[in-house]
Amino acid sequence: MTDTSVNRVQARISELRKLIEYHNHRYYVLDDPEITDPEYDQLFQELVELEEKYPQFADPDSPSRKVGGEQTSAFAPRSHTIPMYGLENSFSIEEVQAFINRIRKQHHDTEPEFWVEPKLDGLAVEVIYENKAFAAASTRGDGLVGEDISNNIRTIKNLPLKLVSTHNMPDYLEVRGEIIMRRNDFEKLNALKMEKNEKVFANPRNAAAGSVRQLNPSVTASRPLLFFAYGIGTANFKDGFRWTEQSMISHDLKQLGLPVVPQGTICADIHEIQNYYEKQLSQRQDYPFDIDGLVIKVNAISMQQHLGFTARSPRWAVAFKFPASQEFTRLKDIHIQVGRTGVLTPVALLDPVNVGGVMVARATLHNENEIRVKDLKIGDMVVVQRAGDVIPEVVRPLKEKRTGQEREFVFPEICPSCGTRVAKLKNEVAWRCVNASCPAKLEQGLIHFASKKGLDIDGLGKKWINILINKSLVKRITDVFRLKRDDLLSLDRMGEKSAENLINAISASGQNVTLDRLINALGIRHVGEQTSKVLARKYHSLDKLAQVHEQELQNIQDIGPEMASAIAEFFRNQDNIELLAELKALGVWPEQQQEHLIAAQLEGKKFLFTGGLANMTRDEAKSRVEEAGGKVVNSISRNVDYVVVGDKPGSKLQKARNLNLEIIDEQGLLNLLE
């Protein structure tokens, strides 16, 4: 290699070290990262590879030999008795196999088994207990010294301040774990910050870290944080007892009253690890919080001790990371979309990018306030993620990549569909078109009205709705029921058979629609499928529902003041009164017949399904439960009354057993319904 090439390598190593130190500071100290985790991983991996290839440039102060970031001056430093090491990352099953092979080389006479658990994406901390009582807590910091955050940590609701006495009761115990925030709590927190025009958090991990490191503990106490233990530091027992396996540590920490990382299991070999990985990846969104991979640890503590550590990580553990759920791309433009309630929603138009296996080209920006708070400009490079691995979302701009050519987005003062001046209602952040005849409102409203959860009009999709409105054949929702065969035959690409089928489908939908689906189809603000069923079951007809006072609605379970106000306002609105009168005149006016009502013997009971049912679909089972007054939920918790288990149940079955929930099979469900 020439001197010039060597100099280039040395310069690149120096550049990478500075970049990584900078981003470590942003991530660990400021809780405000500028790059995504995959971007950071690429930089770090490049540095490690260059340092291994060119050992002459080794530096003991390189960030590749450090665990995390330095502590800030806002909190007192606190040393760890045993360093809190980070983990080496693996991104493929081949890399995990290489990790196992290295262990086998050192222990060729013993086949290792592994304790494997989900890797929570949060803030690593250490919590200390002395004589069963909470004594102190600190962040990981640089792995050797962290920040004393005792006053803040003790406010976390699920963290016990006193341990439960067990036969394995240490006098002194350092518990290591992760502080996280659930996704729905993160979204609520960011929504509140946007309302106050405050800077939002980039992701739940940063929200958790920022909440823990508040100077005022009362702020931390107000944040919905959770703690989960995954291991220990030092543990002293009077009787000389020692934990011999990682699985035993997890079991005993739980017995002591500590919340532990859920779904941990023992895997005997690479095949079991791969199966567990695929299962956790597919069920990733079943968790209410973010997991970004697996942590794989040698189960035997004696083998862990023999394998030891590198300068920055244990040789007996590795992180097996999931595919990136965040990417970056160009924000090309912002388009305004008018919804069925008249709300003007800005939509980001993006250079298409693959995020977690899905091509993303559009993402909602919700409202003008979000654009301002996130400081987004047209032309920005932006971080994009799929919220809940489903809904595309623009997280933030990459300000360091700005060229000066980016443009501010000016929110329109008039509706782009009808030209009416938009308005902002009291206590709302959204701009609305107030024109009752706005074509865009009609189109979106009719799409919802005809959808599967509304009247389910077969053949009346977005394309035909758009054509019918543009041809002035439909000027209000009820015009759909007045369409004639000749009206449809006048449209391009509409044949006689198609026209006949659509007319028949419209007629059948009006005659067969149930009350709950008509309520849902009306598009009352805040009222969805479940609430529509509750209202139909309670009031039996739209005539009765229209007369209900706001206060009475608030007395119904799960209907709060905002929803009650929206329902009452809907039935006071003159346009809606005329719409309902027309529907009634057209015969689209179902009533919930008393003789068909199932006694609400399951009123308020929560059901969760896992696995396939033999004699009915999941939707059929859900409908029958709801008709009987029950409620079907997707997330498992102590509030679930019945877990219905079918064929090939998922991980929720074990969670149900851990929570001692009542588990029934399909026949048990039928017995309840009968």
Contact in structure between 129 and 177 (CB atoms under 8 Å): no
Q: CA–CA separation, 106 vs 584, rounded Å?
A: 80
| Residue where the block lists tokens 């006694």 | 599
119 catalytically annotated: yes
Q: Distance between CA 506 and CA 485 in Å, rounded?
A: 12
Cα 665 from Cα 608, distance rounded (Å):
11
Q: For 4, how many CA atoms within 13 A lie in the half-sphere containing its CB? A: 0
Cα gap 317→299, rounded to integer Å:
10
Token couple for 554: 């608030």
Q: What CA dihedral angle connects 616, 622, 625 and 631, to 10 degrees?
A: 160
- Tokens representing 231 are 């291991």
| Alpha carbons 370 and 364: distance in angstroms, whole number | 10
Chain Cα centroid distance, residue 31:
20
How many CA atoms, within 13 angstroms, populate the side-chain half-sphere of residue 611? Answer: 19
How are the residues of the chain apportioned to helix, strand and coil, as percentages rounded to the nearest 5? Answer: 40, 20, 40
Which residues neighbour 433 within 8 Å (Cβ) at sequence distance 6 or greater? 338, 342, 344, 415, 417, 418, 420, 422, 440, 441
CA distances from 643 to 86, 221, 558, 607, 669 (A): 38, 33, 21, 6, 9
Task: Determine the 3-state secondary structure of 664 from DSSP.
Answer: strand
Query: What is the residue type of 185?
Result: D
Catalytic residue among 119, 297, 321, 533: 119
- Measured in whole angstroms, the distance separating CA 385 from the mean position of its chain's CA atoms is 11
The per-residue DSSP string of 183-214 comes to HHHHHHHHHHHHHTTPPPPSSHHHHHHHHHT-
* Phi-psi sector, 141: left (phi>0), alpha (psi -120 to 50), beta: left
DSSP-assigned letters across all residues of 284-353:
GGGSSS-EEEEEEEESBHHHHHHH-B-SSSBTTEEEEEPPPSEEEEEEEEEEEEE-TT-BEEEEEEEEEE
How far is C-alpha 293 from the chain's CA centre? Answer: 15
- DSSP string spanning 82-148? S------EE-SHHHHHHHHHHHHHH-TTS---EEEEEEE-SEEEEEEEETTEEEEEEE-TTSSEEEB
Q: What is the CA radius of gyration of the chain?
A: 29
CA angle, 652 as apex, 650 and 653 as ends, to 5°?
A: 85
In this structure, the chain runs to a length of 674
Q: Any idea which residues carry the catalytic annotation?
A: 119
